[in-house]
């Protein structure tokens, strides 16, 4: 009897270890994405500590998101910009510290949940008062200028990278957290809205995209300015065609989440490439101008795309053999 129990335990141990290894691997993938999000938050905090952010340039920049929005949206934006203008040094220091704390809190496991929850609340507030909802209601939204607003992507990522598994058997990190249908709906709405923004007048008007590219070159390093100015020149008379091509590519990415894994992987690669192209078009978030508050939407879109990468099917773990004692 003792020999049969020993054999059963020996057979069960590898199975448990194999299951633990699978769980650790899945957790590691999510943790890497969480840490990447934390790094971006820390970068935001560092950018907020730039000298220009302690001057009236910062509230003036916030106030620029008010025009074109409905009064119920623009009123609070103007009020908050005025408040910051009167206490810019103190409030900007607080804002920068909050963003640093969010990034460090995400990096430290004991405060991970608290930091992710706080980042959602902070992102929603900044999306309204700092970005005017990304220009969606003002009619100025375009994938090239960062719509639907970089900061709302932080909130979406915080939800999709939450440390919990609603559907542990799902193929991607994002789907394991909130479930397959909700996660795929988020993907479809996000990338589908980007495709729709690409067809709005803000993108398809003659010279619209080339103008954004030219703006992204201002204050950029020589190599980046060269890329943006040459791209702007090439698209100067092909704005409508460029917006249509961009919309089609974004729409293909949007619907790919419902297609088989090999096609989805190709679409995710395309999404990362598009995110990189948009980031270059945005002058890499104007990181080199001294006026950037975040790296813009490109890196966040790429990070979000990687959260949907379908992992290989998990190997089935055989059940431990249970010895039967002969009568």
| Backbone phi and psi for residue 148, each to the nearest 5 degrees, phi listed first | -85, 20
pLDDT for 89-122, tens place per residue?
A: 999 999 999 999 999 999 999 999 999 999 999 9
pLDDT of 69: 95
Q: Are 130 and 142 in contact (CB under 8 A)?
A: no
- Predicted pLDDT at 17: 45
Q: How many CB atoms lie within 10 A of CB 68?
A: 13
Q: Is residue 102 a contact partner of residue 115, using CB atoms and an 8 Å limit? A: yes
Query: Would you say 41 and 108 are in contact if contact means Cβ atoms under 8 Å apart?
Result: no
Range 217-221, long-range pairs (CB < 8 A, 24+ positions):
217/283, 218/283, 218/286, 218/289, 219/283, 219/286, 219/288, 219/289, 219/290, 219/291, 220/283, 220/284, 220/286, 220/288, 220/289, 221/288
Would you list the domain boundaries of the chain? 37-132, 139-311
What are the strands, taking DSSP E only, across the chain? none
Give the CA count within 13 Å in the CB-facing half-sphere of 214: 10
pLDDT of residue 3: 45
Question: Mean pLDDT of all residues in the chain?
Answer: 89
Q: Which two tokens stand for residue 318?
A: 């055989």
């Amino acid at each position: 009897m003792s020999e049969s129990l020993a054999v059963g335990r020996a057979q069960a141990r590898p199975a448990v270890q194999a299951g633990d290894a699978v769980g650790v691997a899945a957790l590691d993938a999510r943790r890497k994405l969480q840490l990447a999000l934390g790094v971006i938050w820390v970068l935001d905090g560092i950018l907020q500590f730039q000298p220009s952010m302690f001057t009236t340039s910062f509230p003036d920049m916030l106030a620029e998101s008010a025009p074109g929005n409905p009064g119920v949206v623009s009123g609070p934006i103007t009020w908050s910009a005025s408040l910051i203008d009167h206490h810019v040094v103190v409030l900007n220091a607080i804002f920068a510290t909050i963003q640093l704390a969010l990034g460090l809190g995400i990096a430290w496991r004991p405060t991970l949940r608290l930091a992710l929850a706080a980042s959602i609340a902070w992102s929603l507030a900044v999306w309204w008062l700092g970005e005017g909802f990304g220009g969606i209601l003002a009619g100025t939204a375009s994938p090239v200028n960062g719509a639907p607003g970089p900061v709302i992507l932080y909130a979406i990522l915080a939800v999709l990278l939450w440390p919990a598994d609603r559907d542990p058997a799902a193929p991607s990190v994002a789907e394991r957290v909130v479930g397959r249908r909700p996660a795929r709906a988020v993907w479809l709405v996000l990338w589908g809205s980007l495709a729709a923004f690409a067809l709005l007048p803000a993108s398809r008007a003659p010279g619209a995209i080339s103008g954004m590219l030219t703006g992204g070159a201002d204050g950029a390093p020589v190599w980046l300015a060269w890329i943006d100015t040459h791209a702007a020149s090439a698209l100067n008379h092909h704005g409508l065609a460029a917006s249509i091509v961009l919309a089609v590519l974004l729409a293909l990415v949007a619907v790919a989440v419902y297609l088989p894994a090999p096609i989805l992987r190709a679409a995710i690669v395309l999404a990362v490439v598009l995110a990189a192209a948009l980031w270059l078009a945005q002058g890499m978030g104007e990181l080199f101008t001294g006026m950037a508050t975040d790296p813009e939407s490109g890196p966040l879109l790429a990070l979000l795309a990687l959260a949907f990468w379908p992992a290989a099917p998990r190997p089935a773990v055989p059940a431990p053999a249970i010895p039967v004692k002969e009568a």
